[in-house]
């Protein structure tokens, strides 16, 4: 087992321990509080907040993946090529729109809670996945594509059996970026009453409690790093299998 793996395993163990029994960490955070303020956020169950946070991110990223990869498939087929510039613009607009503005616009339409946050995360997730799926699908070697057709694969068989598997490591890299962005962005969902780990940070800001801010930040940060690494490991394993270095 490599040193990196040991560090990650320890980080994961600490994270899980904190989520299950945050009170046990009181001695760690107590020095950060003033005037006897509580050291650990207890208004909501920490584990439940983390699960909601992850659930919201997962739902948004899955939706963004389906739409982005679907779009990338369409615009890389002969019949869809003319939509390539349009789809690029749409994905770019999704990216340039500030998440807070998306929330502000979505709340009147969708009300408070998880829905407007989901919309913001979804829009934010589109571009990295779309760009990567496009790169992955267009970078399939012409000889491989031609062999697939020459063997008698239909368009659909070629896509499913050859092009998508070959593009998968690159698509995963896009999903990894979107996931990490979404993990961070989901915290601001708490401003519109979505139940996420942002709640802990915002409570800390409102009550001037550094311990809360740090807890929320560390949990989100640890989740992001661990998930990022897991994706990277998977991408590399897949790429290595194909004889590529990624």
Partner 1 sequence: MIEIDAVTKVYGTQTVVDAVSMTVPSGTIAVIVGTSGSGKTTLMRTINRLVEPTSGAVRIDGEDNRALPAYELRRRIGYAIQGHGLFPHRTVAQNIATVPGLLGWDQKRIANRVDELLDLFQLDPAAFRERMPHELSGGQQQRIGVARALAAEPNILLMDEPYGALDPIIRAKAQEDLLAIQARFGTTIVLVTHDMEEAIRLGHRIAVMDAGKLLQYSKPADIIAKPATPFVKELIGAPERPFRLLSLVRVADLAEPGEAAGAPLDAGLSARDAYAELLWSGREAAPVARDGAIVGRVRLQGLAKQAARPS
- Determine if 173 is a binding residue for partner 1 (CB under 8 A): no
Complex with partner 1: residue 77 or 244, whichever CB lies closer? 244
Give the binding range for partner 1 (CB under 8 A) out of 32-40, 151-159, 174-182, 218-226.
151-159
Among 24, 66, 151, 205, binds partner 1 (CB under 8 A): 151
Letter string b/e over residues 217-231, b meaning 16 or more CB atoms within 10 A of that residue's CB: bbbbebbbeebebeb
Complex with partner 1: residue 96 or 141, whichever CB lies closer? 141
Burial class (CB in 10 A: 0-12, 13-18, 19+), 243: exposed
- Determine if 42 is a binding residue for partner 1 (CB under 8 A): no
117-146: which residues touch partner 1 (CB under 8 A)? Answer: 141, 143-144, 146
How many residues comprise the chain?
246
Long-range contacts of 200-205 (CB under 8 A, 24+ apart): 200/41, 200/46, 200/49, 203/41, 203/43, 204/41
Q: How far is the CB of 142 from partner 1 (least distance, A)?
A: 9
Tokens 């615009």 label which residue? 75
Which tokens go with 5? 């793996």
How far is Cα 164 from Cα 91, in angstroms, rounded to an integer? Answer: 20
Complex with partner 1: residue 162 or 181, whichever CB lies closer? 162
Q: How far is the CB of 16 from partner 1 (least distance, A)?
A: 34
Among 84, 153, 225, 232, binds partner 1 (CB under 8 A): 153
Give the binding range for partner 1 (CB under 8 A) out of 18-26, 95-103, 211-219, 235-243.
235-243
How far is Cα 74 from Cα 68, in angstroms, rounded to an integer? Answer: 10
- Determine if 78 is a binding residue for partner 1 (CB under 8 A): no
How far is Cα 188 from Cα 190, in angstroms, rounded to an integer? Answer: 5
Complex with partner 1: residue 138 or 149, whichever CB lies closer? 149
- Determine if 43 is a binding residue for partner 1 (CB under 8 A): no
Question: Can you tell me whether residue 218 is helix, strand or coil?
Answer: helix
- Determine if 147 is a binding residue for partner 1 (CB under 8 A): yes
How far is Cα 155 from Cα 143, in angstroms, rounded to an integer? Answer: 16
Residue 40's nearest CA partner among 27, 53, 52 is 27
Among 46, 102, 162, 203, binds partner 1 (CB under 8 A): 162
How far is Cα 16 from Cα 4, in angstroms, rounded to an integer? Answer: 18
Number of residues that bind partner 1 (CB under 8 A): 20
| Binding positions for partner 1, rule: CB under 8 A | 141, 143-144, 146-154, 157, 162, 165-166, 241-244
């Amino acid at each position: 087992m490599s040193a990196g793996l040991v560090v990650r395993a320890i980080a994961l163990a600490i994270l899980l321990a904190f989520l299950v029994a945050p009170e046990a960490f009181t001695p760690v955070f107590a020095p950060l509080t003033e005037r006897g303020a509580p050291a650990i956020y207890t208004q909501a169950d920490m584990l439940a907040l983390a699960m909601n946070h992850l659930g919201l991110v997962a739902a948004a990223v899955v939706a963004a993946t389906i739409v982005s990869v679907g779009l990338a498939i369409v615009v890389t087929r002969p019949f869809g090529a003319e939509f390539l510039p349009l789809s690029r613009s749409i994905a770019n607009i999704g990216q340039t729109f500030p998440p807070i503005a998306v929330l502000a616009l979505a709340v009147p339409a969708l009300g408070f809670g998880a829905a407007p946050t989901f919309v913001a995360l979804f829009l934010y997730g589109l571009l990295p996945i779309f760009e990567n799926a496009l790169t992955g699908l267009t970078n399939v070697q012409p000889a491989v594509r031609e062999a697939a057709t020459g063997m008698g694969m239909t368009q659909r068989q070629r896509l499913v059996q050859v092009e998508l598997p070959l593009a998968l490591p690159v698509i995963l890299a896009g999903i990894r970026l979107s996931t990490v962005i979404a993990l961070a962005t989901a915290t601001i969902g708490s401003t519109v009453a979505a139940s996420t780990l942002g709640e802990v940070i915002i409570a800390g800001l409102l009550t001037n409690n550094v311990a809360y801010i740090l807890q929320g930040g560390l949990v989100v940060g640890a989740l992001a790093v661990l998930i990022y690494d897991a994706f990277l490991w998977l991408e590399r394993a897949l790429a290595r299998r194909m004889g590529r270095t990624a």
